[in-house]
A and B are shown apart, each in its own frame.
Chain A
Amino acid sequence: MMTAAITVCDVSKTFTMHLRDGIKIPVVSGVNFAIKAGECAVLGGPSGAGKSSILKMLYGNYSTDFGAILLSHNGEEVDLSKAEPRKIIELRRDTIGYVSQFLRTVPRVSALDVAAEPLTQRGEDYEVARKKAADLFAQLNLPERLWNLPPATFSGGEQQRVNIARGFITDHPILLLDEPTASLDAKNRAVVVDLITQKKAAGVALLGIFHDEDVRTKVADRIIDVTTFAGSKAA
């Protein structure tokens, strides 16, 4: 495929901290890149360079001050940076998946239901969705005794695997990964590398942050150096 799945054009972002006398913290400016279907790009740069902020803007979780984030959604081109809340919810349901660093748990909802939810939201049959979640849990070596428990009391690595299953369960054409392997052991890191490779083969465009060098070398088609988008701060 020649067309980009997601194109970021001249995006910038500054935080204004009103409780700190309105101090302005430039995060990134002049962010430009595009990711093709079937490609996995990795955001590189030291902590605080703005990697997570870029990912959050691409998911609509942070606003942008300037620029455009263009993607193709159900056949039409959409600028996510200017989309209405309803549109962003629709984009998240159908087009952009996201694996966050930490799982936000809901009381009383089981791990299986947490992972199955992105599918049931799209109208998939409840049992089919749970079966798919269970398959992913098995692949990720999540102990079966945990599947029907709410993940609130799980360890960091266990929660992260629930989160990964939730992110990988759909066939979203774009997938954002915020350090999905940070609290995993070598065996499960390898599983995630496999899952990413499968997504690439299926034509998904991936953008991720990976601090683990080994994982990064295995999955990255290229590195996007975030320090070139530094806001006007003296780094």
Chain B
Amino acid sequence: MSDQPLLSVNDVSKFYGSRVGCRDVSFDLYPGEVLAVVGESGSGKTTLLNCISTRLEPTNGSVTYRMRDETTRDLYQMSEAERRFLMRTDWGFVHQNPADGLRMAVSAGANVGERLMAVGDRHYGNIRETAIDWLGRVEINEDRVDDQPRAFSGGMRQRLQIARNLVTGPRLIFMDEPTGGLDVSVQARLLDLIRGLVSDLGLAAIVVTHDLAVARLLSHRMIVMKDGHVIESGLTDRVLDDPHQPYTQLLVSSILQV
């Protein structure tokens, strides 16, 4: 593991008028590290994710990112064009609802190819070949490359969204409830796929989830949020097996045993 953080979040707060979205959140994320953000609905997880991923400007605090050229940049000091370029190339964002991250009316192959064109690839044959390769890696059959995601099941759409995000070789990927709303067998397959890709590609990831089993399976570290604050953080298995805060103990003890 590298000794320099890839991403540093420093005292980030977001207020909606007088309401707190998230407050004074700080952490570092290193290359290859997967961080889970857990907490109940309304705890500020998604607000935090949006603030970090430049989708929502924080009220206070800063987020810095180490670029591919090793310079460290403050994300909110960058120009809009630079931020967009970062999001299209070095970052990925997997939405809970695949329709938010895909273009539903163009083919699966074009959904993947579009990201490649954004980084300057213009050769149709190469783009199609890479798209088909990536569809294979997320277990979508080559013969579906010309179908629109509208014709895909929920699990397939989610896998397509992952392929679209990973095709440019990002170093950091954000995931907002990536398995939410999928039935459990589809969920298991998707989790296993994400786990394999993240470790093979050495990706850093921030995964927002309310599902502690997902956090345990995917993440190295986790932070627990309540009412916009980080109330507990640490090594994933330690937070889950030896939780200290009352709320974390409640969360862990509320998991249903199968």
Interface residues in chain A, defined as those with a beta carbon under 8 Å from any beta carbon in chain B: 15-19, 56, 60-63, 85-86, 88-90, 106-109
Contacts and interface: CB of A to CB of B under 8 A. Distances in A.
A60 B189 contact: no
B246 A18 contact: yes
Given A19-B249, A85-B234, A106 B195 contact: yes
A35 B220 CA distance: 28
A90 B1 contact: yes
A60 B249 contact: no
Contacts, number: 53
A61 B1 contact: no
A98 to B, nearest CB: 11
B238 interface: yes
Given A63-B242, A109-B192, 13 more contacts: A16-B244, A18-B245, A19-B253, A60-B238, A61-B238, A63-B234, A85-B234, A86-B1, A86-B30, A89-B235, A90-B1, A107-B188, A108-B188
Contacts of A90: 1
Contacts of B192: 106-109
Interface string B181-221: 00000001101100100000000000000000000010011
A67 to B, nearest CB: 16
Contacts of B1: 86, 89-90
Contacts of B220: 85-86, 89
Interface residues of A, dominant DSSP: mixed
Contacts of B33: 86
A61 B188 contact: no
Contacts of A108: 188-189, 192
B100 interface: no
A64 to B, nearest CB: 10
B255 to A, nearest CB: 13
Nearest to A17: B249
Contacts of A107: 188-189, 191-192
A16 B192 CA distance: 35
A56 B241 contact: yes
Nearest to A20: B249
A85 B221 contact: yes
Contacts of A63: 234, 238, 242, 244
A56 B242 CA distance: 10
A61 B242 contact: yes
A61, A85, A90: most-surrounded residue (chain B CB, <10 A):
A85
A106 B237 contact: no
Given A19-B253, A107-B192, A108-B192, A62 B241 contact: yes
Contacts of B188: 107-108
Contacts of A60: 235, 238
